[in-house]
Amino acid sequence: MRSLILATTLLFSALSFAQAGPYSASETPIGILLDDPAAMAVVEEYIPGFSSNAQLDMARGMTLVDIQVYSPEPLSDEEMEALNADLAALPAN
């Protein structure tokens, strides 16, 4: 019985993280964005060098909005809204 509960829990966890567009700056984990080249291209437009940041692995579970305040040159709310709109416009995989 425990095995069934564990398997079900793992399945639902995997499904909740297997997001395939549209993406959101406030809801999609950075790790999901990193795994999609089209999404990362959009992020790189607004935050050049983002994907090569040495601390990026620590932020994989966070969202872009979560880390907005930690950036040395944070995006304005208007820039974040534009980034979000571009992410949302990506086709679903």
- Predicted local confidence at residue 16, as pLDDT: 42
Asked if residue 63 belongs to a domain, the reply is yes
For 72, counting Cβ atoms within 10 Å of its Cβ (0-12 exposed, 13-18 middle, 19+ buried), the class is exposed
Structural domains counted in the chain: 1
Residue 60 lies in a domain: yes
Structural domain includes residue 49 = yes
- 31 in a structural domain: yes
Give domain status of residue 3, yes or no: no
Asked whether residue 77 is domain-assigned, the answer is yes
User: Does some domain include residue 10?
Assistant: no
Contact between residue 28 and residue 63 where contact means Cβ atoms under 8 Å apart: yes
Residues 13-66 pLDDT 10s: 444 444 445 899 999 999 999 999 999 999 999 999 999 988 889 999 999 999
Of the listed ranges 16-25, 69-78, 83-92, the least confidently predicted one is 16-25
What pTM does this model have? 0.73
Whether 79 shows a pLDDT value over 90: the answer reads: yes
Domain span at residue 68 reads 20-88
Is residue 4 a part of any domain in this protein? no
